[in-house]
Amino acid sequence: MTDLQGKVALVTGAASGIGLAIARDFARQGVRVTISDIDIERGRAVAGELQGARFQAADLGNADDIQRLVADTTSAEGQVDILVNNAGIQYVAPITEFPEAKWRQIIELMLTAPFLLTKAVLPGMYAHKWGRVINIASVHALRASAFKSAYVAAKHGLLGLTRVTAL
């Protein structure tokens, strides 16, 4: 297993759930973690509980926020060694009733944001000849569920992005 002591990780959607569990584990291993979330109050509280963690608010549906998140993490912590694309939301409705705005929000957050974040951190990883991009999908990257069109489409796309990035 790789020693992660002193590495820098950026974890999205890290104020709760899977993202928080990942951030906690990284902090226990001595990783300097940037916790990103739209929940500012919870994000700050969580970062205060974890040694070596900091909080950076970001709306991942906003390309400027994404660029600022990467720039601020890099300037505060150094090179981003590990990117965890975890942030996500869910909306359940038949396609015929699925609001276009909700579709766009989910695709932006769960597919476009991981693309932009990966694009931003890869050059540094290449330069340092080390890095990890971890994209959190689910069974929905492989199979569909009724009434979850945007979520399933985003997760299928995320799996494709993961495979392309690995190549």
Please list the active-site residues: 151
C-alpha span between 36 and 99 (Å, rounded): 27
- What is the bridge-based pairing of β-strands 32-37 and 8-12? parallel
Question: Among 11, 163, 1, which residue's Cα sits nearest to residue 84?
Answer: 11
